[in-house]
Chains A and B, each alone.
Chain A
Amino acid sequence: MFTSLFKALTNLFKKPQTIDYPVTPIEKDKDYRGLIEYGEESCIYCMKCEKACPPGAILFVKTDTPSENEKNKKGLKYNYNPYLCIYCGECVRACPKPEEALWQSNKKPEVAVRGDNVNSDWFELEKLHKS
């Protein structure tokens, strides 16, 4: 009984095992799987990432204002949905120029609110992609 009483008293003055989250940020590992980032200048528009993506979070859709990249003959634009992405890294492994055109960072996506129209905008893109 004395040991348990002693333990209870020492536990009163111990630091908690949890962290004070919003004040103290969570320590992020550099290899943490986060957002996929894209370098337009190095992209060769092979569309391998689009085919490899399991949930279909990368879409190349035709646009009126294409980039000046000479490999972009069809006038496409890269679209990425961080809220659909499962961060598996399959696109980066499929990319012929990883680290330059497509790489995985350790950043988290920003919290989206209803006003951002994350879903409806993406459904529009999916319709455009099919047609």
Chain B
Amino acid sequence: MKKTINIPLGSQHISLLEPVRFKFECENEKIVGVDSDVGFVHRGVEKACTTRFKYDAVGYVVARVCGLCAITHSLSYTVAIEQLLDVEVSKKAKYLRVLLLELDRIHSHMLCLSHTCESAGFEAMFMRIMGDRELIMEIQELLTGNRIQFDYISIGGVNRDISLETAKKIVNSLDIVKQKVLGYIDEFTNNWSLSLKFKGIGALTLDEAYRFNAIGPLARASGLHIDVRNEIEYLPYKELGFKMQTHTDGDINARNIIRLNEILNSLEMCNNILAGVPEGEIVVKSKGKPSGESLVRFEAPRGELMYFVKGNATAMLDRVRIKTPTFSSIPAFSHIFMGENYADAPAILASFDPCLSCTAK
């Protein structure tokens, strides 16, 4: 007789933000087998990029792959095209790009942390973090003119300049956010429902992180020193004070702490940028049509994002391939669920910060 029972989580479930389905094979409370399906929100973005839109409009199309990491998507695509067109971007544009990228990371991590709180049953903290996240959203609106879809990055630079007045306002808001984040660190380390409850749950060891190709905060929480920001030369991360954040526990609590520390590091980088935005043009004109192949990697809030672009010297591209961080992490996700209690599954899933609209695109 069969000893296990199958319990589905999704495709619609109260703890899920986006449609994903996990089929858990459970023995009593313990999960012994996992099967996952991620393709519920497929929109055919890759095909649209090569059939419906010219190469200069594709940057706006790929920004709509994901609402949270829109800037990373459009930046990766734009850098890939800039490599094909041999465009050298000014230093000011690079600094502004990093600024937006880091603001994006801050608000994405805050969203993840708030949902971790929600899945722990701590509704008040969820509301607090979401309320404070508005400060970052307002900064983004000041900079780009929109809260979510920024459309800030164009081929050859950025679309909008930053004025001194805006910079001052942003520095003030960032100071407030920093105080709030320090408060969160206190809550996430000392509050029972956020720290002790999460300790030892959903752990991934360093060896397993290597074996299952974990990336992003998931891997760094297990002590794997992997961050694309440390490896690329294109953006001036080293001179802006980037520090790799790692932890050794690999459980949900470690992931939360990693995210909080990354927010602090990103805030520091934003302040460094605003203290000395270089002079120069914000956009450089480009000529010609893209031909050849290029591959670009960037660190999205959830891990490494890869873009492969192939051009054929016409306005239409041959191929745009997007490999998103959540897609690469699925083997690690599935492994973490093994041996855990079914009741912990929503909390573990929230701590991964999965982005399914990226994955299914």
Please report A residues at the B interface, Cβ cutoff 8 Å. Answer: 17, 29, 31-33, 52, 54, 86-90, 93
Candidates A17, A31, A32, A86; contact of B60 at CB < 8 Å: A86
Given contact pairs A33-B145, A54-B53, A89 touches B131 in the complex (Cβ within 8 A): no
Which 7 pairs, one residue from A and one from B, show the smallest C-beta to C-beta distance? A33-B145, A54-B57, A88-B151, A54-B60, A17-B131, A33-B146, A31-B145
CA distance A87 to B144 in the complex (A): 11
Candidates B53, B57, B146; contact of A87 at CB < 8 Å: B146
Q: Tell me the residues in window 34-81 of chain B with beta carbons closer than 8 Å to chain A beta carbons.
A: 53, 56-57, 60-61
CB distance from A35 to the nearest CB of B (A): 12
> Which residue of chain B lies nearest to A51 when distances are taken between CB atoms in the complex?
B54
Candidates A17, A32, A54, A89; contact of B141 at CB < 8 Å: A32
Cβ A54 vs Cβ B146 within 8 A: no
CB distance from A81 to the nearest CB of B (A): 16
Residues of A within 8 Å of B141, CB to CB, are: 29, 32
CA distance A77 to B200 in the complex (A): 67
Q: Tell me the residues in window 147-171 of chain B with beta carbons closer than 8 Å to chain A beta carbons.
A: 149, 151, 154, 159-160
Candidates B53, B142, B159; contact of A29 at CB < 8 Å: B142
Per-residue CB contact flags for chain B residues 121-155 toward chain A (1 = under 8 Å, else 0) read: 00000000001000000000110111001010010
Candidates A32, A52, A86, A93; contact of B159 at CB < 8 Å: A93
Q: How many A-B residue pairs have CB under 8 A?
A: 36
Given contact pairs A31-B145, A87-B146, A54 touches B61 in the complex (Cβ within 8 A): yes
CB distance from B43 to the nearest CB of A (A): 15
CB distance from B229 to the nearest CB of A (A): 27
Residues of A within 8 Å of B160, CB to CB, are: 31
CA distance A87 to B56 in the complex (A): 16
CA distance A33 to B160 in the complex (A): 11
Please report B residues at the A interface, Cβ cutoff 8 Å. Answer: 53, 56-57, 60-61, 131, 141-142, 144-146, 149, 151, 154, 159-160
CA distance A31 to B60 in the complex (A): 20
18 pairs, CB–CB < 8 Å, chain A vs chain B: A31-B142, A31-B145, A31-B160, A33-B144, A33-B145, A33-B146, A33-B151, A54-B57, A54-B60, A86-B60, A87-B146, A87-B151, A88-B60, A89-B159, A90-B57, A90-B154, A93-B154, A93-B159
Given contact pairs A86-B151, A89-B151, A93-B159, A32 touches B145 in the complex (Cβ within 8 A): yes
Residues of B within 8 Å of A17, CB to CB, are: 131
> Which residue of chain B lies nearest to A89 when distances are taken between CB atoms in the complex?
B159
Residues of B within 8 Å of A93, CB to CB, are: 154, 159
CB distance from B136 to the nearest CB of A (A): 15
> Which residue of chain B lies nearest to A17 when distances are taken between CB atoms in the complex?
B131
> Which residue of chain A lies nearest to B134 when distances are taken between CB atoms in the complex?
A17
CB distance from B162 to the nearest CB of A (A): 11
Residues of B within 8 Å of A29, CB to CB, are: 141-142, 145
CA distance A52 to B53 in the complex (A): 11
> Which residue of chain A lies nearest to B61 when distances are taken between CB atoms in the complex?
A54
> Which residue of chain A lies nearest to B143 when distances are taken between CB atoms in the complex?
A31
CB distance from A15 to the nearest CB of B (A): 13
CA distance A29 to B146 in the complex (A): 10
CA distance A37 to B60 in the complex (A): 21
CB distance from A56 to the nearest CB of B (A): 9
**A33-B144, A89-B145 known; 17 other A-B pairs, CB under 8 Å?**
A29-B145, A31-B145, A31-B160, A32-B141, A32-B146, A33-B146, A33-B151, A52-B56, A54-B53, A54-B60, A54-B61, A86-B60, A86-B149, A87-B145, A88-B60, A88-B159, A90-B60
